[in-house]
């Protein structure tokens, strides 16, 4: 009898220990803005041992991670990673969208009710007000009754605010007017002293003075197109040729700074300063640091995926990543932190580059399309400005005009759709209100459905042919369903993670629920993603509780 009682007590104790398995002291979410999945391997032989290779060799890589919605833009990507949800439910349908009630384009994090903190510019009039859902960072705060800390950092406001969620202790972004990190009164009324001290160092000036030279001899960049192609845009205030003499830029120099690899180094500098000053990973509860690296996106848009600028950007980012991981080893403790690294989207090849190699691709201007369609509608239906706005590969019909007209709305939509598919770069166009009956491939239809938000999306959507996009003839962009935009890296490293690779398809929206499982907390309140069980299998305590 006594032996049986001891067995029961021991069993209860063991289950209790398993349920309260040690958690990481710090979770670091790293998002690289505009990182195509293939960049992990395209430059692999030139990466150092301690950066991307450390995460790949000693961590867990989800090799087929995709974005499950369209359009694939920066704000939507950051929101979806941290909410575990899609634009249909978290409300972030793009970087901008058209607001029918305001009759203007709305920016994803704009908030006129708050003020800039840390500068005299208007760049701080931002908050997470337009984000409908909780983030994993919010849920971590809730799980500790707000006794832990969440800090979010990025050059871009949306790259900081959306990951930080609604309850961040601090979200900081770069102000190109002042050349320092700022925030808004949504978070605080004055910058912490450590941020003010960091800004006082004027590190962007130091980095600009060094210019942007290639890390290795120019002729060794054999994975890239020769330098200074005519279809590349210029670095603002400079040109498209190495060396980029950033020390000579005087006008809007901090805007130019955002395009350089040094801006990544600067973001890491700020992350280290936050860890030290906020004592992240030193308390009784798991803290979170959300860091987004915006420079690859600025440079990617300007120069394209096959440029020497992008190859050099990633070789330098890799070295910075290695240095940062070493910093975490020392400041938090090796094996005491958890890192995930992913991206918000990829990028298409520059059409001019494709044309050089007889590969298909092209550009379309949706503003021109909307204007031409309105001219045709005026002629055939006697309606003026029937299309009110074009954005996110969608057309918004003018409700006031249509109500006054009182004609057959479906006939008008059919007319517009038939006109759209006559454009060379457009492969499909459809009425979003009847999407269920339109014969799209299941994968693409699912992405459109996940991206459709009844309150914020348009009426008619069009889909481009592969490697066609809305833009100009120089540089590139992103936003489409295609793998070059939607296939992203996802690496896990640190406490509770065993090394390995997963080749089944998973999604950006699976990151937050997987983190929730690892941290043993509630998943965000609009989560549609699923736990990636293979990642959790690195934790024996989790397996015991399954």
Instruction: Give yes or no for a contact between 346 and 37, defined as CB atoms under 8 angstroms apart.
Output: yes
| SS3 label, residue 384 | coil
The pLDDT, as a whole number, for residue 541 is 44
The pLDDT, as a whole number, for residue 22 is 86
Backbone angle region of 475, left / alpha / beta, with phi > 0 → left and psi within -120 to 50 → alpha: left
Supply 124's token pair: 């701080």
Cβ of 336: how many Cβ atoms within 10 Å? 17
Q: In whole angstroms, what is the distance from residue 500 CA to residue 503 CA?
A: 10
- Pairing outcome for strands 150-154 and 96-99: unpaired
Give exposure, 235-244, as e/b (b: 16+ Cβ within 10 Å): bbbbebebeb
Q: In whole angstroms, what is the distance from residue 227 CA to residue 235 CA?
A: 13
**Strands of 432-489, DSSP E:** 460-464, 468-470, 487-488
**pLDDT in 10s for each residue of the chain, 546 residues:** 444 444 444 443 334 434 556 899 999 999 999 999 999 999 999 999 999 999 999 999 999 999 999 999 999 999 999 999 999 999 999 999 999 999 999 999 999 999 999 999 999 999 999 999 999 999 999 999 999 999 999 999 999 999 999 999 999 999 999 999 999 999 999 999 999 999 999 999 999 999 999 999 999 999 999 999 999 999 999 999 999 999 999 999 999 999 999 999 999 999 999 999 999 999 999 999 999 999 999 999 999 999 999 999 999 999 999 999 999 999 999 999 999 999 999 999 999 999 999 999 999 999 999 999 999 999 999 999 999 999 999 999 999 999 999 999 999 999 999 999 999 999 999 999 999 999 999 999 999 999 999 999 999 999 999 999 999 999 999 999 999 999 999 999 999 999 999 999 999 999 999 999 999 999 999 999 999 999 988 544 443 433
Closest CA to 340 of 124, 43, 65: 65
Instruction: Give yes or no for a contact between 309 and 302, defined as CB atoms under 8 angstroms apart.
Output: yes
Closest CA to 228 of 215, 216, 244, 212: 244
Residue 63 phi, psi (nearest 5): -75, -25
Give exposure, 159-194, as e/b (b: 16+ Cβ within 10 Å): bbbbbbbbbbbbbbbbbbbbbbbbbbbbbeeebbee
Helices (H), 409-491: 409-420, 442-451, 483-486
The pLDDT, as a whole number, for residue 543 is 38
| Separation of CA 411 from chain center | 38
To the nearest 10 degrees (0 to 180), the angle between helices 295-303 and 261-277 is 170
Residue 294 phi, psi (nearest 5): -90, -25
Instruction: Give yes or no for a contact between 105 and 372, defined as CB atoms under 8 angstroms apart.
Output: no
The residues assigned a catalytic role are 74
């Amino acid at each position: 009898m006594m032996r049986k009682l001891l067995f029961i007590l021991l069993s209860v104790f063991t289950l209790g220990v398993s349920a309260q398995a040690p958690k990481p002291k710090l979770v670091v979410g790293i998002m690289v803005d505009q990182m195509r999945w293939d960049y992990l391997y395209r430059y692999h032989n030139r990466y150092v041992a301690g950066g991307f290779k450390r995460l790949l060799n000693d961590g867990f890589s989800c090799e087929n991670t995709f974005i499950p919605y369209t359009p694939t833009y920066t704000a939507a990507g950051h929101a979806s990673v941290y909410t575990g949800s899609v634009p249909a439910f978290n409300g972030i349908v793009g970087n901008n969208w058209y607001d029918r009630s305001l009759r203007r384009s709305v920016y994803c994090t704009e908030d006129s009710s708050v003020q800039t903190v840390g500068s005299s510019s208007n760049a701080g009039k931002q908050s997470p007000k337009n984000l409908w859902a909780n983030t994993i960072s919010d849920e971590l705060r809730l799980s500790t009754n707000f006794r832990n800390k969440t800090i979010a950092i990025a050059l871009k406001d949306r790259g900081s605010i959306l990951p930080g969620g609604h309850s961040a202790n601090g979200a900081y972004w770069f102000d190109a007017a002042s050349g320092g990190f700022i925030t808004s009164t949504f978070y605080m009324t004055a910058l912490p002293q450590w941020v003010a001290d960091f800004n006082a160092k004027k590190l962007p000036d130091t980095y600009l003075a060094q210019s942007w030279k290639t890390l290795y001899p120019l002729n060794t960049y054999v994975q890239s197109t020769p330098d200074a192609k005519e279809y590349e845009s210029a670095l603002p205030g400079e040109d498209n040729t190495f060396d980029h003499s950033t020390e000579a830029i005087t006008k809007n120099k901090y805007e130019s700074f955002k395009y350089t690899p040094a801006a990544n180094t600067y973001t890491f500098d700020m992350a280290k300063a936050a860890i030290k000053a906020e004592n992240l990973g030193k308390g009784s509860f798991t803290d979170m640091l959300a860091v987004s690296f915006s420079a690859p996106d600025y440079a990617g848009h300007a120069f394209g995926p096959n440029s020497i600028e992008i190859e050099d950007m990633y070789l330098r980012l890799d070295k910075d990543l290695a240095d940062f991981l070493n910093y975490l080893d020392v400041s938090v403790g090796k094996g005491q932190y958890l890192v995930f690294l992913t991206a918000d989207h990829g990028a298409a090849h520059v059409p001019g580059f494709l044309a050089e190699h007889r590969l298909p691709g092209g550009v379309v201007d949706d503003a021109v399309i909307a204007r031409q369609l309105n001219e045709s509608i005026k002629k055939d239906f006697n309606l003026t400005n029937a299309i009110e706005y074009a954005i996110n590969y969608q057309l918004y019909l003018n409700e006031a005009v249509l109500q006054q007209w009182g004609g057959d709305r479906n006939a008008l939509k059919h007319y517009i759709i038939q006109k759209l598919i006559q454009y060379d770069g457009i492969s499909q166009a459809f009425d979003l209100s009847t999407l269920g009956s339109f014969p799209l491939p299941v994968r693409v239809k699912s992405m459109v459905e996940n991206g459709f938000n009844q309150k914020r999306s348009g009426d008619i959507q069009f889909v481009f042919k592969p490697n066609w996009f809305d833009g100009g003839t120089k540089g590139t962009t992103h936003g489409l369903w295609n793998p070059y935009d939607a296939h992203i890296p996802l690496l896990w490293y640190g406490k509770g993670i065993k090394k390995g690779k997963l080749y089944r398809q998973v999604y950006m929206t699976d990151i937050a629920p997987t983190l929730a499982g690892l941290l043993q907390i509630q998943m965000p309140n609009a989560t549609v993603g699923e736990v990636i069980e293979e990642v959790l299998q690195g934790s024996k305590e989790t397996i015991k509780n399954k």
